[in-house]
Amino acid sequence: MPTYTDRFHDKVAIVTGGVSGIGAATTERLLAEGATVVAVDVSQKAIDAFVEQHPDTGDRLEARHLDVTDSAATKSLVDEIVQKHGHLDILVANAGIGVFGDAEQLSDDDWRKGIAVDLDGVFYSGRAALPHLIESKGTIVNTASISGMGGDYAMTAYNAAKGGVINLTRSMAVDFGKRGVRVNAVAPGPVRTPLLEPILEDQSRHDVWKNNIPLGRVAEPEEIAAAILYLASDDASFVSGVTLPVDGGLTSWTGQPDLS
């Protein structure tokens, strides 16, 4: 088992999508390193299950229901959290969904749903957190994706939203750096999360990832969480506006065959 430091002692963090997949791993790692964490999610069932699985966190874990596509509710909850805890130091804007379909197939509703959760939600949570992060000289880490750095088959809305998250991250870093706020993003490749598990069960698709990823496997959620915590920590004190691929080297490959 890894030995964790106490580098987030006395820090208050909000993690959206914080009770499953990458978000759950991030919440757990922040707790292990001393933070007080408010994990928010749209699924009350997932919230209840997560809290039940973590009975020994005392008052350092709070799990709340939130639909990040609701701007007013997001602002209200962030303000409430700050009023309760006195400050906010870290926002991990991680909530996201997958929407499938190419530009010819995609319905208006599916397009809007993808953009609303994967891009609007990042913007709304960041906007709500910024006044408090300016006060604390805090930091934001957005969850983008390598799908925001290139195109995928039949993932038009997801590609567009995650590309937007990457440039939103840059824009916020430029606007708020002089006010003491760092803004960065992680860009995971394929990760063994509940969203991806059904796809990984298809051996032919799984083999494509194993063959194309230089490290030869998909990531575990804890590996993405480790990168998120690096960007949120003082170890990254001069890092801002960066989107860090955490993809086992996948985006380093041109896609050409092995000619050796």
For 127-154, the DSSP string reads: HHHHHHHHHHT-EEEEE--GGGTS--TT
Q: Looking at the domain assignment, is residue 207 inside a domain?
A: no
Domain assignment present for 158: yes
pLDDT above 50: residue 1: no
pLDDT in tens, 94-110: 999 999 999 999 999 99
> Which pLDDT belongs to residue 4?
78
What percentage of residues in the chain have a pLDDT greater than 90? 87
Residue 238 has which token pair? Answer: 């001069």
pLDDT per residue over 142-188, tens digit each? 999 999 999 999 999 999 999 999 999 999 999 999 999 999 999 99
pLDDT (0 to 100) of residue 2:
63
* Percent over 70 (pLDDT), the chain: 99
pLDDT tens digit sequence for 22-57: 999 999 999 999 999 999 999 999 999 999 999 888
For residue 209, being part of any structural domain is answered with no
Residues in the chain: 260
- The answer as to whether 3 is a domain residue is no
Instruction: Classify burial at 256, counting beta carbons within 10 Å of its beta carbon; exposed 0-12, middle 13-18, buried 19 or more.
Output: exposed
204 DSSP assignment: H
Q: Which residues are identified as catalytic?
A: 158
Q: What is the mean pLDDT of residues 191-219?
A: 90
Q: 244 φ, ψ to 5°?
A: -95, 110
What is the residue-averaged pLDDT of the chain?
96
pLDDT higher than threshold 60 for residue 117: yes
Long-range contacts, stretch 165-169, CB < 8 angstroms, 24+ apart: 165/118, 165/119, 165/122, 166/243, 168/119, 168/122, 168/123, 168/126, 168/142, 169/140, 169/142, 169/144, 169/241, 169/243
In the block, tokens 């750096």 appear at 177
Number of domains observed in the structure of the chain = 1
CATH of the domain at 65: 3.40.50.720
Query: What is this structure's pTM?
Result: 0.96
Q: Is residue 65 part of a domain?
A: yes
* 101, part of any domain: yes
Using only the alpha carbons of the chain, give its radius of gyration. 18
pLDDT category of residue 200 using cuts at 50, 70 and 90:
confident
**198 falls within a domain:** no
* Cα–Cα distance measured from residue 55 to residue 47, given in angstroms and rounded to the nearest whole number: 13
Residue-range definition of the domain harbouring residue 24: 12-191+221-243
Contacts of residue 135, defined as CB under 8 A and 6 or more positions apart, other chains included, come to 87
